[in-house]
Amino acid sequence: MTSPSSSVQEARRALGKRLSEIRLEVGLTKPALASSLGWHESKCSRFESGTRPPSERDLRAWAAACGAESAAENLISTARGIEGAAC
């Protein structure tokens, strides 16, 4: 049986993979995305690896920087579900 914490971690990794896909679809490197957002590249890496959960603000900024504003609400909804399961 999968523990709740491993399920949450798996869901965070899946969200991170989606963030990576969105970034790659528009041809942005992590350094370029981070620079456009005023973030350190490690912040992008942590989101994409699922080691750090992004805030709603982070997700909106990511989507906007990638020209994927339409994906923001879905990303936020997914993140809320993950964090709700973590509690």
Q: Which residues contact 26 (CB under 8 A, 6 or more apart)?
A: 66, 67, 68
For residue 39, CA distances in Å to 3, 4, 17, 30, 69 come to: 33, 31, 19, 10, 19
CA dist., res. 20 & res. 78, Å (int)? 15
Residue 12 pLDDT exceeds 60: yes
What pLDDT digit, counting tens, does each position of 30-77 carry? 999 999 999 999 999 999 999 999 999 999 999 999 999 999 999 999
CATH number at residue 73: 1.10.260.40
Q: Please give the residue range of the domain that contains residue 14.
A: 4-86
Domain count, the chain: 1
